[in-house]
Amino acid sequence: MTIDIGARNPLAQEPTCPRDADGRPRVFVEGAGAYLTDLTGRQWIDFDNARGSVVLGHGDEEIAEAIAQAARGRSGVGTSWSPMLDDLTGQLRQVFGGDVVGLYRTGTAALRSVTCAVREIRDRSIVLSAGYHGYDPMWHCEEPFTPNRHGIVEFLFDLDVLAEWLSRPAQVAAVVISPDHMHLGDRWYAEFSRLTRAADVPVIADEVKVGLRYRAGLSTQLLDPAVWIVAKCLANGSPVAAVGGDADLLTPLRDVSFTSYFEPTTLAAATATLRRMATGGPQRSIRAAGESFITHTRSAFASTGVPIDIAGNGNLFQFVCADSEVQDAFHAAAAAEGLLFFEGDNQTPSAAFAGAVVEDACGRIDRVCRALAGRFADREITEHSWYASAWGAMDGLADRPRTRQQTLAIVERLWAD
């Protein structure tokens, strides 16, 4: 079987997905646990997992059965309310907290709706932003630290810039951040929270990527956000996002609805997935297996002289390459060994990445390192390597010591790229 993905493809979009060296989408015809099968029958180990959405693994039997029952009309209907909706909203409040919760199809749509709601209630024009918030022109800034036409100010996780804007709190409706735990530590979150509380400006936590990824709940308790959004780990790949928080700030959401609001297969996937994720068990399993792989891989990099380090932990991590040439060579060698990585970004193993799969992955990474051994003896990981890697994963600046002048120079260099 062949699939033609050429210039005549009628899609208006160019969707994000794993691609080969020529930019053509990789095609996979089957998924089972942590493995994918391509058109030739070759098996790959999946570290991308639909950008972290397939948190329990491909084809999980419990989730598949819940979806099948719903698809057969045995778990409610798309016409109106069902008991599953009550179950899901109850679970969401119990796991994440908040006075009220709401549902959307995507994290991007949920975040836009929430941000507009909070800005309307607070009647202030400026929204301070850090991190990636999805494919939405609202968040696109032509330059950092300055409001765009939607009133969004990109502060790039720089606390000095944040403090300057929060010194004029009467202008600021909210601060929206996508938490990162690979390049920002507890010190950063503690200072961020101190600044926002002192200014009495609400925080909107865009936890689309990291909610449920680390623990049974939001990724960090240091933020104490007024509003939260979660999505990727909520339904093992089915399209749903949830918001929750302060009832007054979210009052404008009362009129939000859409035709597929009660669609039963999505509710079934979310209810079944969240029930398991709420135990914290899958997160602990992912952490243990991921840490085993990271420890082995770091040792393999060191023993073969490959200038790559790893940021983060077993739940979510990133390869920090000395430069773009090393990165390209690494991903080419990894693809040759059937390791599907999210190139230049974070790796999100699923709960199916365990036992023999980890051993298989370690064997493959050993072969990757042997293929690269001796090729980059003159390269080393620098401060720029760390900043460039952070920029690729979090669209902002890693929390590393620097002066304001250094900040401006780093931003100028990375923004241009």
User: Strand, helix or coil at 376?
Assistant: coil
The reported pLDDT for the residue numbered 3 is 57
- Whether residue 88 sits in one domain with residue 35: no
Tokens 């979510």 — which residue? 316
Among residues 303, 341, 339, 304, the alpha carbon closest in space to that of 319 is found at 341
Verify that 372 and 400 share a domain, yes or no.
yes
Examine the domain organization and report whether 86 and 150 are in the same domain. yes
The Cα 265–Cα 76 span in angstroms is 9
Helices (H), 168-323: 186-199, 264-277, 281-304
- Residues 56, 91: one domain? no
Tell me what pLDDT residue 260 has. 95
pLDDT, tens only, 46-94: 999 999 999 999 999 999 999 999 999 999 999 999 999 999 999 999 9
Contacts 24+ apart (CB under 8 A), 34-40: 34/58, 34/349, 34/350, 34/352, 34/353, 34/354, 34/357, 35/357, 36/340, 39/1, 39/2, 39/3
pLDDT by 10s per residue, the chain, length 417: 555 555 567 888 888 889 998 889 999 999 999 999 999 999 999 999 999 999 999 999 999 999 999 999 999 999 999 999 999 999 999 999 999 999 999 999 999 999 999 999 999 999 999 999 999 999 999 999 999 999 999 999 999 999 999 999 999 999 999 999 999 999 999 999 999 999 999 999 999 999 999 999 999 989 989 999 999 999 999 999 999 999 999 999 999 999 999 999 999 999 999 999 999 999 999 999 999 999 999 999 999 999 999 999 999 999 999 999 999 999 999 999 999 999 999 999 999 999 999 999 999 999 999 999 999 999 999 999 999 999 999 999 999 999 999 999 999 999 987
**Is the domain of 258 the same as that of 285?**
no
Q: Is residue 332 in some structural domain?
A: yes
Say whether both 176 and 201 belong to one domain.
Answer: yes
Spatial separation of the C-alpha atoms in residues 394 and 254, rounded to whole Å: 32
- Say whether both 287 and 256 belong to one domain: no
Count of domains for the chain: 2
Same domain, 290 and 344: yes
Asked, for residue 413, whether it belongs to a domain, the answer is: no
pTM of this prediction? 0.96
Q: Coil, strand or helix: which one is 229?
A: strand
Segments forming the whole domain that contains residue 102: 75-277
Clarify whether residues 150 and 39 are in a common domain. Answer: no
241 and 99 in one domain? yes
Q: Say if residue 20 is exposed, middle or buried (CB neighbours under 10 Å; 0-12, 13-18, 19+).
A: exposed
% of the chain at pLDDT higher than 90: 94
Q: Domain of 397: which CATH number?
A: 3.90.1150.10
Q: Which residues contact 38 (CB under 8 A, 6 or more apart)?
A: 26, 27, 28, 29, 44
List CB contacts of 232: < 8 A, sequence separation 6 or more: 50, 51, 52, 53, 55, 107, 208, 209, 211, 213
The per-residue pLDDT for 417 is 75
Domain final residue, candidates 225, 250, 277: 277
**Residue 8 falls within a domain, yes or no?**
no
